[in-house]
Amino acid sequence: MTGKHGCSQRSKTVDLRNGSTVTEFILVGFEQSSSSTRALIFALFSALYSLAMAMNGLIIFITWTDPRLNSPMYFFLGHLSFLDVCFITTTIPQMLIHLVAKNHIVSFVSCSTQMYLVFSMGVAECILLAFMAYDRYVAICHPLSYAQIMSRQVCVKLVSTAWFFGLINGILLDYMTFRGPFCRDNHIENFFCEAPIVIALSCGDPQFSLTTIFADAIVVLLSPMVLIVISYARILASILGRASSSGRGKTFSTCASHLTVVIFFYTSAMFSYMNPRSTHGPDKDKPFSLLYAIIIPMCNPIIYSFRNKEMKRAMVRALGRTSLAQSKSV
């Protein structure tokens, strides 16, 4: 079985060298690792994926059902967790399957679809994080007008804007990645289809696609970051202008969770899509791919829940209701 699979993959590589068009890719990922290492990685990331799904699922449930968490901050947080669930589900299950399966082949369409979803969710999250920073700015700097400025209708429009631009931008980035013919080696040195690596496999000059994605990353990443920086600069000025040190600490603590998430997310995204082409490589790309593919979606709910007393109490109430329902059913 293994021999046949190896011959099949080698023959495809030979065909590609003779000028055939790529119809599928081979995700190398952790193929070079030993079976014991792959088993360890499988166990680790199965646990991390389960934890991320459970934590984000709990936040989605309590922010959408608990009447005490009806503020815009929790409305945005519920959508952030939903984005994280969608994001990790596009990459991690496939990685886990490939860790135990012999066949690491993905079709051209599957690779394109996965990349579109990764782009869309990533861009939507960038924009949503900026709106969350703006929400904190209005809450802290304009508390008397907060309910009017951040009404439910406005919040729905902001979340819809994040989703809309994410889905539209994903079409552009996906097209720029797959616009050229593919007739070179079809091995992707990662555990999922990632744009810089796939573009490098194109037959044509990849420079235009890479430049376009780089320019798009500047707009998509830096524009929301400008809004985040301005929001937090004004928040900081407002905090420092307050006489009470305890008031400063309480105000800043409400922003610390969001700021931590922003730093993690933007650092990994900038490394992946705003670095020169020469700096990309399997050893450098994989750690950052893992960071924003699983670690950040897992950390987001942990960061928010540990630093927020209302979230802790809501989680306890939700878990208590679940335990009570189970005991009654028994």
Domain boundaries, the chain: 24-309
- Is 145's pLDDT higher than 60? yes
- Which range among 1-5, 66-70, 83-87, 149-153 shows the weakest confidence by mean pLDDT? 1-5
- Predicted confidence at residue 15, as pLDDT, reads 45
pLDDT in tens, 58-78: 889 888 888 888 889 889 999
- Which range among 133-137, 219-223, 286-290 shows the weakest confidence by mean pLDDT? 286-290
Separation of alpha carbons 301 and 56, rounded Å = 6
- Is 165's pLDDT higher than 90? yes
- How large a percentage of the chain has pLDDT more than 90? 25
pLDDT band at 254 (very low <50, low <70, confident <90, very high): low
Separation of alpha carbons 168 and 146, rounded Å = 30
Highest mean pLDDT among 198-202, 293-297, 326-330: 198-202
At the topology level of CATH, where does 24-309 sit? Answer: Rhopdopsin 7-helix transmembrane proteins (1.20.1070)
Q: What is the largest CA-CA distance in the chain?
A: 74
Higher pLDDT, 322 or 23: 23
Mean pLDDT over 303-319 rounds to 73
- Counting Cα atoms < 13 Å in the Cβ hemisphere of 59 gives 31
Strand order in the sheet with 187-188: 105-107, 24-27, 187-188
- Is 159's pLDDT higher than 90? yes
Cβ neighbours of residue 247 under 8 Å, at least 6 residues apart?
none
Q: Tell me the residue length of the chain.
A: 330
Separation of alpha carbons 243 and 239, rounded Å = 9
- Is 324's pLDDT higher than 70? no
pLDDT band at 273 (very low <50, low <70, confident <90, very high): low
Higher pLDDT, 325 or 321: 321
Mean pLDDT over 175-199 rounds to 82
Q: What angle do CA 227, 121, 90 make, to 5 degrees?
A: 155
pLDDT in tens, 3-20: 444 444 443 443 444 445
Q: Which two tokens stand for residue 141?
A: 């700097």
- How large a percentage of the chain has pLDDT more than 70? 79
In order of 76, 129, 155, 234, the CA distances from 133 in angstroms are 10, 6, 13, 11
- Counting Cα atoms < 13 Å in the Cβ hemisphere of 48 gives 23
Give kind and range of the element (H or E) at residue 196.
Answer: helix 195-200
Enter the DSSP assignment of 192: S
pLDDT band at 194 (very low <50, low <70, confident <90, very high): confident
User: What's this model's pTM, rounded to 2 decimal places?
Assistant: 0.82
